[in-house]
Amino acid sequence: MLKNELDKDKLLGTLNHNRIYVFLVIVIILMSIGAPGFMRSSNVIPLMKTSLLPILVGIGFTFVMIGGNFDLSVGAMINVGALMVMGEFNRFYAIFGGEPAGAAAVFGAWTVAFLIALAAGSFFGLINGLLVAKGKVHSFIVTIGMLTTLSGFVYTYSKGNTISANSYALVDIIEKPLLKLPYIEFFTMRSLITIAVLVIFEILLVKTSWGRGLFMVGSNKEAAWQAGIDMERKIIWTFVISGFTAALGGILFATSMNAAVPNYGERGINPLMLVLASTIIGGTVMTGGRGSVVKTAVAVITIQAIFNGLIGMGLGFDSQVLSAGVLLGAVVLYEAYVLYKESLRKGERPALLPEAEKLKVNHRGSKSKVSGEQSPEAAQGA
């Protein structure tokens, strides 16, 4: 009987670990019934394309969360990446000679702008990481301060205006479908870059000793220290990765639109909410030490599918905001309840439970009696 119970626990645990795939299937089935034409190619491709930005941002966010911290500054990092790539492109395009210089100027300017924007994101991430790891300040405080600083910075950088690039050459390349077939049309340069980055970081997390060490840092700092892991450096790297991926997301998003605004996500659905919800739904534990980049990405697609389906059912934009909030709240509550139940059972040994019942231990001060009962047995055994 006990064995069966353990098996049941194991099965439920496996199901819980892979719950996001179950979620996705359920959502797809429900939305296909509720909103006709949900699975049509013309609906699926925009859905997947809106998921690209949160997927990229979610990579870094998951890394930071596995390390046991939070990065609330990702929303501002997106804007930093988006605005800087546009602003720097225009500057260097002019320096390299502008339109008369031809393709060389476009290529050179985009390369420099990409590098500068990515460096900026990584740099701000590095500051976050240094303050958290070396300064020992709580990550929430550091990143919320960074959020404010950066949102001031992007407005000052753009003077509050929309910045658009002076050349359309890159949009044509980055948003052009490789094959003009239904569903396959999704594969553009942008989506391929996103998928490649996703795969690289998943391999880094799961297959390398660096990634395994990160799990250890998140789940048990003491053990990680005993194992000789340089925790501070790992934490710093997670924040750098977060800044890098968020900036990359912003860059790709801006180049696909050929424009960047300083207030992206301020009035619509907050990207931070989307990423936080997907990371937690995707199975990353709030206290760190467990998580997966791919599952976060699947969770992003699931949430986008819910949004898309709600629009398809004719419920309007505001129902999206509500559903996202309620979903996040429900998942946080569920996770908290599980952790609460676990904390109640701390120190319990399931294998010893039947024996404890046999002993009939009285919880109120009958310790001496129990030991008295045990001693003859011990004598017999000897």
Partner 1 sequence: MSNTKQDIRKTSHNSFTLIVNKFGVFFMILVLSVVGVLVSPSFLSSTNLLNILNAVSYLGIVAAGIAFVIFCGQYGDLSAPMTMATTGVICVEFMRYGLWYGIIAAVIAGAVIGMINGFVIGKLRVNAIIWTLAMNFILEGLVRWSYKGTQIYPDMATEKTYTTGFFLPIMAKLDPNIMDIDLVSRAAAFNGLATTYPLGVPLVLYVMFGVMITGYIIMSKTTFGNQLKVVGSSYEVGKMSGINATRTVMMAFMMSSIFASIAGVFMTSLNQVGAFYIGQGYDFQAVTAIILGGMSLSGGRGSMIGVFGGVFTLGLISNILTLLGIGTFTQKMITGAIFITVVAVNAKSLRKLGRDYA
| Binding site residues, partner 1, CB under 8 A | 70, 131, 135-138, 140-142, 144-153, 155-156, 160, 225, 267, 270, 272-273, 276, 280, 286-287, 316-319, 321-326, 328-329, 332-333, 336-337, 339-340, 343
CB of 194 to partner 1, least distance (A): 25
Closer residue to partner 1 (CB): 194 or 279: 279
CB of 263 to partner 1, least distance (A): 11
d(CA 311, CA 43): 11
CA atoms within 13 A on the CB side of 254: 34
For residue 44, the 8-state DSSP code is H
CB of 199 to partner 1, least distance (A): 28
d(CA 83, CA 298): 28
Classify 164 as helix, strand or coil.
strand
Measured over the CA atoms of residue 194, residue 81, residue 60 and residue 236, the dihedral's sign is positive
Burial, 30: exposed, middle or buried (Cβ in 10 Å; 0-12, 13-18, 19+)?
Answer: middle
Judging by DSSP bridges, how do beta strands 163-164 and 259-260 pair with one another? antiparallel
Closer residue to partner 1 (CB): 106 or 150: 150
Closer residue to partner 1 (CB): 252 or 324: 324
d(CA 83, CA 295): 29
Structural tokens at position 57: 């941002």
From first CA to last CA, the distance across the chain in angstroms is 32
Closer residue to partner 1 (CB): 76 or 252: 76
164 φ/ψ angles, rounded to the nearest 5 degrees? -125, 150
Closer residue to partner 1 (CB): 70 or 237: 70
Give which of 309, 327, 321, 303 is closest to 267, Cα–Cα. 321
Query: What is the DSSP annotation of 208-220?
Result: SHHHHHHHHHHH-
CB of 119 to partner 1, least distance (A): 19
Closer residue to partner 1 (CB): 168 or 317: 317
Closer residue to partner 1 (CB): 111 or 149: 149
CB of 294 to partner 1, least distance (A): 22
CA atoms within 13 A on the CB side of 1: 1
CB of 265 to partner 1, least distance (A): 13
CB of 25 to partner 1, least distance (A): 25
d(CA 60, CA 296): 10
Closer residue to partner 1 (CB): 48 or 142: 142
CB of 238 to partner 1, least distance (A): 17
